[in-house]
A and B are shown apart, each in its own frame.
Chain A
Amino acid sequence: MIDIKNKTTPIAVKVDDLTVAYNYKPVLWDIDLEIPEGVLMAIVGPNGAGKSTLIKSILGILKPIAGSVSIYGKPYDKQRKLVAYVPQKGSVDWDFPTTALDVVMMGTYGNLGWIKRPGQKQKKEALEALEKVGMLPFKNRQISQLSGGQQQRIFLARALVQNASIYFMDEPFQGVDATTEIAIINILKALRKAGKTVIVVHHDLQTVPEYFDWVTFLNVKKIATGPVKDIFNDDYLTKTYGINYKVSIHK
């Protein structure tokens, strides 16, 4: 155990010996990970490296076969309200009969708990979140009528409305246009400025140094984690992706 008190920043997320398997085949193997508070962190690694799986098991969506997760020193169940989650855009049915505003309102359900219904206060929070991501004019739009980038912003607004301390995002830049990508990264940077911890599954290695200040290399096992300026180098990229990545990253 690392003594947290000796550090200047507390640990927001701590993963201990986490192993996750699908049908007895491990997809994550003995992961130890500490994410300090206030970082904007990318999780990078090749396809099938278990990036989404790592996030999902931290959030209790998947059950690990071994290991434990703590959020600010306590189990996830007790710290739910500190955490917001943006799943992959493709994980839901966008033909579902509902509006943009209603999807964002879903972010308030966690604080409401069972049975209690959202009211004016929740609606106001949702509208403010929509305004922050620039989607206010689309509030009554049916969600299938939104472009990919707009749908991603709706998901982001839904996470913002949870007013959490830690944000987990699964490939928020997938299939969005350049304008939306910039809009999203600006919001993420604003979150970090406000002292929040943001953890993003990311695919585009080129933008890692520009967008993030912290990075975790993952390929079934954890390869490395730390500040981008210290560890985002050819050595770890090669260890994570295999031999050819040196070339492509310099292009």
Chain B
Amino acid sequence: MSNAQLEIQLIASIVAIACAIPGTFLVLRKMAMISDAISHSILPGIVIGFFITQDLNSPLLILLAALTGIITVVLVEYIQKTGLVKEDTAIGLVFPTLFSIGVILIAKNANDVHLDVDAVLLGELAFAPFDRMVISGADVGPKSLWIIGSILLITIALLFAFFKELKVSTFDAGLAASLGFSPAVIHYGLMTVSSITTVGAFDAVGAILVVALMIAPPATAYLLTTDLKKMLFYSVGFGIFSAISGYWLAHGLDASISGSITTMLGIIFLLVYLFAPNKGVIAVLYREKQQRTEVLLLTFLLHLKNHTDERERHVNHLNEHINWQKIRSKTVLDLALKNNMIKFNKNIVSLTEKGNAFTSQAIDYIITNEDAQIEDMKDDFFLFRG
């Protein structure tokens, strides 16, 4: 692996981490679309900043662009507050307008400089190592590495300092306000960090990948954990993994690096979406099937409990009376037997003591409207699940 390759992977990974942290909170605040808006509408900020500084990596340019990001958020909120359009419409109105102002500015004035629409949308990670940071004659590494590295350090410091404030205002803005943590301050703080991160990452990976890196890793992590800290760690992990594997995918296919990283993000999300242990599609389907069988079991046990006369509890009668198909009846009967809930006595089915206790308790919960408790109760009774 050459030095340049290493540097590209390093930059991509750091960008991924810097994006995953604010991204986690954006996803939890249901503001994923805002990051899309910011990533596009900072363009006029970048162009104007470039005219002033003549340097794509100047801190002033980053601040100007971040300011445009904040203006986007303010504009969206302002339009939304008038009540004339909904939030998604407001976002759709603001960012294309600002973005196209940026496009016109580039076309009119910046034709002869290194700033074109392609680079803005897709970035060019492969060229990042060529733009070096030189301090008093010594080469200290690629400029973008320094920029995004500093942004990451600030982000991490802010996260450590304000983790509890971010958490409480994201979960319950009303409580945060009544406790004296102004949700507005935290909201705009998060927007500022998101904007600055977007600008910093923008040059390296472009507007589209920035959005993907902010949203896809947290969305994936959300499916795997119920703990905010773990969600942050998993997001960071998925971000780094996609950055590095995406790089090698691009290397193998001789394709765009940012495109390959985004593809990896999509593939990982799809895999987790299907196979996540609790919230994944397959797990949900399996659980639904299990629950269906268990509800049938409860229905069956209830029938046995309600009818004391033997005629109602004869196997043949049950078959025609409950009106279930053969396979279904067999599944339910098997489950009841496996869990020692019923016993046979010459084709007469009756509840065991355990079956009786289970049924009574379940009825109690249903009558008192505490259906949720039935799930807990199953752990106490079931040897095998449906």
Contact = CB atoms under 8 A, between A and B. Distances in A.
Interface of A: 23, 56, 59-61, 77, 80, 83, 85, 87, 91-93, 96-99, 102-103, 106, 109-110, 112-115, 117-118, 142, 144, 146-147, 149-150, 158, 177-179
B317 to A, nearest CB: 37
Contacts of B222: 97
Given A80-B178, A109-B181, A91 B227 contact: no
A96 B225 CA distance: 10
A85 B178 contact: yes
Interface in B314-365: none
B226 A61 contact: no
Contacts of A83: 178
A113 B370 CA distance: 38
Contacts of A179: 368, 370
B168 interface: yes
Nearest to B24: A97
A110 B162 contact: no
Contacts, number: 91
B172 A91 contact: yes
A117 B228 contact: no
B272 interface: no
B103 interface: no
25 contacts: A23-B83, A80-B179, A80-B180, A85-B175, A96-B28, A96-B170, A97-B226, A97-B227, A97-B230, A98-B227, A99-B226, A106-B168, A109-B165, A109-B181, A110-B180, A113-B180, A117-B163, A117-B164, A144-B226, A147-B372, A147-B373, A150-B372, A158-B175, A177-B370, A178-B369
Interface in B205-250: 222, 225-228, 230-231
Given A109-B179, A146-B372, A177-B370, A99 B227 contact: yes
Contacts of B370: 147, 149, 177, 179
Contacts of A115: 161-162, 165
Contacts of A96: 28, 170-171, 228
Interface in B117-171: 161-165, 167-168, 170-171
A230 B262 CA distance: 69
B19 to A, nearest CB: 19
Contact of B178 (A61, A92, A142): A61
A117 to B, nearest CB: 6
A93 B176 CA distance: 14
Nearest to B372: A147
B174 A91 contact: yes
Interface of B: 28, 30, 83, 161-165, 167-168, 170-172, 174-175, 177-181, 222, 225-228, 230-231, 368-373
Given A23-B83, A91-B174, A114 B228 contact: no
Contacts of B373: 147
A112 B174 CA distance: 18
A177 B83 contact: no
A150 B375 CA distance: 14
Nearest to A146: B372
A142 B226 contact: yes
Given A80-B179, A98-B228, A177-B369, A109 B168 contact: yes
A147 B170 CA distance: 22
Contacts of A144: 226
Nearest to A84: B178
Contacts of A109: 164-165, 168, 179, 181
A103 B228 CA distance: 12
Contacts of A146: 372
A177 B371 CA distance: 11
Contacts of A61: 174, 177-178
A6 B302 CA distance: 66
B172 A59 contact: no
Contacts of A110: 178-180
A63 to B, nearest CB: 11
A152 to B, nearest CB: 13
